[in-house]
């Protein structure tokens, strides 16, 4: 049986276009692949179209809208997940409209589907005291404790995303003066982030304990589980939650409930901002493409806003002397007590 035009173009999109022309990361390609696996499942189960007969003309704007509604209602996907799925679909149809001119109108109709607006969530992050409390919890008398301290302190010190931490290898770390770390971010873009000396010591102790400073382990995952395998996102989340629970039991007032791995990244950004670091430098450390993304921290920090207002405040109203200061008889009477 001959392949359909849809199978041809979706294969070319995932196997060639994303890697060769877009330079997409492995994680992006996996996320896009998962979106189309779900779409194919929907077309087969709900639209009753067999996969080996699915053609480009079978999918239009109404089909995609129905698919997104199906994800929301039947699979309980959040708005952010729906928007991620739609972004993958948009990317495919941007690619397709230049390859299949006969379907350019349908492609543009699908590209006109707008993402859903999600409610603005309050950014969760830890204070300096909260970070200190968290990093006190690992037991440094054990190898696992040294690993966990190195992991958590590196997450905070670099402000890296969880996947960026997971993908680290010893070859990406320079412990000479000044110590730096190479982080591979979204779109396979790399950035060099400086590390402080305290962080360097944690890493040195951890890498020595696990023999990761040996030349034969340069390409070995920096952080591994008990089986020697690269940590997963859920594994990092488990480690963080364990120490958050311990810290919260000791100092509940400084460890909020809604702290996640990404909150550690938020914490670093907020602390840099509160220390007066320029947004441009914060953008480069976090690996944001646009300064507008970094500006969310300035908008979120109410303390920073208050200090800025106080600094810019000019006293306009006259200072009024209390009435009792003018009443000499009242002052004389009060002095008798």
Residues forming the active site: 161, 186, 262, 265, 288, 297
Cis peptide preceding 178, ω within 30 of 0: yes
- Give the whole-angstrom CA distance, residue 161 versus residue 186: 10
- Give the whole-angstrom CA distance, residue 173 versus residue 178: 11
CA-closest candidate to residue 59, choices 47, 77, 71, 74: 47
Q: What tokens appear for 143 in the block?
A: 């190898």
- Give the whole-angstrom CA distance, residue 204 versus residue 182: 16
- Give the whole-angstrom CA distance, residue 279 versus residue 292: 10
């Amino acid at each position: 049986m001959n392949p359909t035009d849809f199978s041809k173009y979706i294969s070319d999109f995932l196997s060639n276009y994303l890697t060769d022309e877009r330079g997409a990361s492995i994680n992006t390609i996996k996320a896009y692949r998962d979106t189309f696996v779900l779409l194919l499942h929907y077309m087969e189960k709900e639209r009753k179209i067999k996969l080996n007969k699915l053609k480009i003309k079978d999918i239009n704007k109404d089909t995609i809208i129905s698919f997104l509604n199906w994800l929301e209602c039947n699979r309980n996907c959040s708005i952010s997940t729906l928007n991620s799925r739609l972004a993958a679909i948009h990317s495919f149809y941007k690619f397709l409209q230049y390859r299949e001119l006969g379907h350019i109108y349908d492609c543009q109709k699908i590209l006109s589907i707008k993402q859903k607006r999600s409610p603005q969530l309050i950014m969760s992050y830890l204070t300096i005291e909260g970070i200190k409390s968290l990093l006190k919890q690992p037991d440094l008398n054990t190898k696992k404790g040294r690993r966990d301290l190195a992991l958590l302190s590196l997450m905070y010190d670099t402000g890296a995303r969880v996947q960026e931490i997971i993908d680290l290898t010893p070859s990406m770390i320079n412990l000479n003066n000044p110590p730096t770390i190479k982080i591979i971010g979204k779109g396979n873009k790399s950035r060099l982030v400086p590390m402080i000396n305290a962080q360097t010591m944690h890493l040195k102790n951890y890498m020595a304990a696990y023999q990761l400073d040996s030349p034969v382990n340069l390409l070995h995952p920096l952080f591994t589980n008990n089986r020697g395998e690269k940590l997963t996102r859920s594994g990092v989340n488990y480690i963080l939650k364990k120490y958050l629970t311990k810290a919260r039991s000791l100092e509940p007032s400084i460890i909020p409930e809604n702290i996640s791995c990404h909150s550690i990244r938020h914490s670093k950004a907020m602390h840099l901002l509160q220390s007066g670091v320029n947004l441009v430098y914060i953008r480069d450390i976090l690996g944001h493409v646009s300064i507008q993304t970094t500006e969310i921290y300035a908008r979120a920090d109410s303390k920073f806003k208050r200090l800025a207002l106080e600094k810019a405040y000019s006293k306009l109203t006259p200072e009024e002397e209390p009435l009792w200061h003018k009443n000499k008889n009242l002052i004389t009477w009060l002095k008798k007590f």
